[in-house]
Structures are given as structure tokens and as C-alpha cells.
Amino acid sequence: MRRRAGLVLLALAAFCAALAPLLRWYAFPRLAKVPPGQYQEVVMEARPATLLDYGTLRARQVEKVTIVQTLKGNVEESERIERGTGRDVVVWDTLAHVQGPDGAMISQIPERYVFDAHTQDPVHAPGEMVDGTPVCREGLAFKWPFLTEKRDYRYFDAQTRTAAPIHYRGTRTFRGLEVYYFEQTIPWTKVPYPRTMPIPGVRAATLEQQTGTTRWYTTRRMFWVEPVTGAPVNGEEIHREELRGGTLLGGRDRVTVFAGHVKMRPDYLDHTVDLVTSQRLLVLLLTSYGPWGALGAGGGLLVLALFLEAWARPSPLPLPAPAPPTPADHHPSSA
């Protein structure tokens, strides 16, 4: 009976040993993916900020500028693209809504981002756009891959419509989480006007043509990324925009449109850290806790199986004791 139990334990040990690499190298790449129906809202603020008064075309100091970033998974579009590509695809429709201290709209830029649900690599499909303009994205946007590495990546900049390196700058601790810090600097670059302008009756498509005034932009972008999930838990930008030249500025060379250090609002930071912490546990179950737990259980079962096998073996029979000598066997020595 003990030998049969030992064989069962040995089989379970072999199963656990096989399960460990299956969880890490087979199940994880297939099960870990971004859900297609995700919805998220983040509020960011620049306090204080420099903002262009479009009535006077003069820059002024304001208490704050607010950016509301909404992200909504488009499940219907994801399914449509999946049928054509044979891949698990996520489609995010996002909107960056910028408003002044009085709540009035300054600009709003919609985007559609299509990417692989497992790797976060861009997937090029009809409908991919920034502010209504078709784009062919390269690099990351919004999220890093699962199990982020300590290296530079390419990150897509929506203003310039191009990808540029975002550099790994070290490991840090943010609100109790170990995170990787990344930084990207976009130098002064001429960029298009937003299609939705805060000036009634002014069309972005003809503004530069009619006035010769161009829009320029630079930013220093910073992300604190939780490496297991690849999700940023914090993001900041030191952001500047200018109008340059042309007749719109009344002879001036340039004027600041916006300048400020944009940070996530503290209550949204708390929510983001809590969300990422819960997702981190799920990924670790497939990449660390599960495989190592299965390997440890397999080792324990193997030891127990060997113990039962040794216990089940019959003890060897003792050797018979030699018979005592008899008087007849005693031969006295000769005189």
C-alpha cells in the first residue's frame, strides 16, 4: 500500500515539474494580455502654467491648466481587425481634452491606437489616427510590454506623429512599488495645429496657410513603469508650445501658447497604483509564483515518494546465530 502511494506521489511530482515551465513559457504568453474593453480616465494638471489668451494673443500666467485623458477600448473594432489579422488585437480610442482655469476648452485631440494584446506592438489597420489624420505608428504608446526590460524603447509622440527613443534611467521605488524610470526629450519641432481650435470660426487647416504663423512644440516626458505589468503608475511632462512668425503675431517673433509641468492628480495616482498592484499579482502567478510554487511542490512530493518507497521495502532477515560448541567437539591437547 505504501509503495502504491509512493508511485502516485512520484507521478504528481513529475506533473508539477512539467507544469512549472508550461506556466512560464506556454501559458503566460497566451493568457497575459490587455483586455479589449478597458476604460480609464486620468486627470493631469499643470500648476501654475503659462497660457495664451486668444483674445489678445498675449501669454499670461494662470493658476492651472487641466488635461483630462480618457481611454476606451473599442471591442467591436478589435473583433473586426482580429478577423483580418488572426491576432489578439486591442483598439483604444483616446481623447486628450485640455481646459483652462475657467473650464473653457483649449484643445482636444482624439486618437485611435491599435496594438497586439500580448506584446503591445503596434498593429497597422485602417482607422489608426491622431486628430483625424491617418498614421502608421511605430514604438510604444501608453503601455510598456509585460515584463518590461531595463533598456531603451521607442515611444510614439502624438504631436510630431513620429517615434523617438525613450531611455531607461534606472530603478526606483514609487509608493512602495519597484518601478523603472524612463525619460524622453522631444526637441523643438514644428507640429500641426489641433483641428479643434478655441477660436470660434478659425479652421486649423487654413490658419498656417493664411497667416504664415507656425506652431512649435517641445517636451520632456517621464514615466514610472511597473515592470511586471508594463503599466505606468505615474507620468509627467515638462511641456512647451509656441506660435512663431507670420502675420498672426503682429510683428512678434514668437509667443508662448502653453508652458507648464504637467503631473497626475494625486487621487488618480492612488487609483492607478491600486489597480496596477492587483494586476501585478495576476501576472506573477503565471511568471513567478505559479512556476516556482509548482517546482517546489514537485520537489517536496519527490522527497515524500522516495521516503515511502524506502519505508515500504521489507527489512532483511537477521542471520542465524552460530550454534554453541558441544562436549564432543572439545579435543583436549595430548600430554
Q: What is the pLDDT of residues 233-271, one digit of tens each?
A: 999 999 999 999 989 888 899 999 999 999 999 999 999
Segment holding 311, helix H or strand E: helix 290-312
Work out the average pLDDT over 142-163: 96
pLDDT in tens, 179-207: 999 999 999 999 999 988 887 777 777 78
Predicted pLDDT of residue 4: 63
Q: Which of 104-118, 137-151, 284-298 has the lowest mean pLDDT?
A: 284-298
DSSP state of 160: T
| More confident: 83 or 335 | 83
3-state secondary structure of 165: strand
Burial 45-78 (b: 16+ CB within 10 A, else e): bbeebbbbeeeebebeebeebbbebebebbeebb
Beta carbons within 8 Å of 202's beta carbon, 6+ residues apart: none
What pLDDT, in 10s, does the model give residues 22-49?
777 778 888 889 999 999 999 999 999 9
SS3 sequence of 26-66:
HHHHHHCCCCCCCEEEEEEEEEEEEEEECCCCEEEEECCEE
Q: How large is the average pLDDT for residues 219-233?
A: 97
Half-sphere exposure of 238 (CA within 13 A, CB side): 7
Query: Which residue has 494662470 as its cell numbers?
Result: 62
- Reported as a pLDDT band with limits 50, 70 and 90, residue 334 is very low
**DSSP codes joined into one string, 216-250:** EEEEEEEEEEETTTTEEEEEEEEEEEEEESSTTTT
Cα(116)–Cα(88) distance, rounded to whole angstroms?
Answer: 6
Report the mean per-residue pLDDT for the chain. 87
Query: pLDDT at residue 315 above 60?
Result: no
Identify the burial level of 244 via C-beta atoms within 10 angstroms of its C-beta, where 0-12 means exposed, 13-18 middle and 19 or more buried: middle
Whether pLDDT at 232 is above 60: yes
Q: What is the pTM of this model?
A: 0.86
Cα 37 to Cα 82, 94, 210: the distances in Å are 14, 13, 43
Give me the percent of the chain exceeding a pLDDT of 90: 62
Q: What is the pLDDT of residue 314?
A: 58
